[in-house]
Amino acid sequence: LDGRATPVGPNADAPPSVPPAPPPPGRRVIACLDVRSNEAGDLVVTKGDQYDVKESGTVRNLGKPVSLAERYYQEGADEVTFLNITAFREIVLADQPMLDVLRSSAEKVFVPLTVGGGIRAYVDKDGKSYSSVEVADAYFRAGADKVSIGSDAVDAARVYFARDRKLDGSTSIECISKKYGRQAVVISIDPRRVYVADRADTTHACVEMGGPGGSPLGPNGERFAWYCCTLKGGREDSDIDVVQLAEAMEAMGAGEILLNCINRDGQGNGYELELVRQVKAACSMPVIASSGAGKPEHFADALRPASENGGGADAALAAGIFHRHEVPIEDVKRYLDEEAKIPVRR
């Protein structure tokens, strides 16, 4: 009588069917370009061996940034990340070549672009002050979708814990997140292992080393290690570990973690799975595994759930194997999809 149809038939009294669960999100494969000036002053893509980008005293030159970015987009990269690895020594807003790289890439590359290096407040040679938001503004206007913050994040975490986990809204992470949204702020972490014989030997969160297929024991047989967050491209250690940094950055409004590992960089022997699992367990932010990829199986190891002895990462990033044509991006995604049964973006 109210105008609604009355169910009839043998299933009239059956409960309504439950819609199927949505498929798991596709994992991302990200190409990374470490960009710096060579001896001639030109911006080139380079690649380090445990963060050393020079060979026989000369910066390794693996190609031009815009050309490589376009190539990776055509090959199926889900995102492209530019890391300006000398920006901590430069006046960022005067770094016109890097801004030009972004502008040119944005005209040809239609996947998210992340840029890192020098996202911080600074004072120029004339005494004029610039905020971290003004620096980020320049990158976003040039075509970036996200900015990656490294050393400044470690400094902010030190202050966060010194103030007993109280926020005041002044950090670059908080300011940029407030203006552009959490999803626009990536935290790039450059940790290295610090071995200890026993967990009780340090106040930092440790992982156990030496498991089957895992990271090696320490030089004196140490079974445990914590991960020290470094600054200035690995040149300076801090007293902050990766668990502390992840906690502080999530509280400040960061949206994602780019998790490198100095010990694995350029080695081609796989990602640091103990590190990835530890950071994933410490926060709810997406984690991008980086450093160490040498073959498609390594991507699967990083992206497989921790319950299946994987890293549990949300995305995997690589550089050298793509630059040197060792493994095409499409082969990595095909392996993940067809062999490892890990969903990827298409």
Asked if residue 59 lies in contact with residue 53, where contact means CB atoms within 8 angstroms, the answer is yes
| Residue 96: burial class (beta carbons within 10 Å; 0-12, 13-18, 19+) | exposed
Catalytic residue chosen out of the listed positions 34, 95, 145, 314 = 34
Distances (CA, A) of 240 to 62, 161, 189, 271, 297: 33, 10, 11, 21, 31
Q: How many CB atoms lie within 10 A of CB 27?
A: 23
Task: Tell me the two tokens of residue 235.
Answer: 């040149």
Instruction: Give yes or no: 314 in active site.
Output: no
Catalytic-role residue among 190, 241, 301, 314: 190
Would residue 34 show up in a list of annotated catalytic residues for this protein? yes
Asked whether the beta carbons of 187 and 229 are under 8 A apart, the reply is: no
CA 27, CA 126: separation in Å to the nearest integer? 46
Instruction: Dig out the tokens for 190 from the structure.
Output: 């450059």
Please name the residue ranges forming H helices in the chain. 65-75, 96-106, 132-142, 151-162, 172-180, 242-252, 273-282, 296-303, 320-323, 329-334
Residues labelled as active-site residues: 34, 190
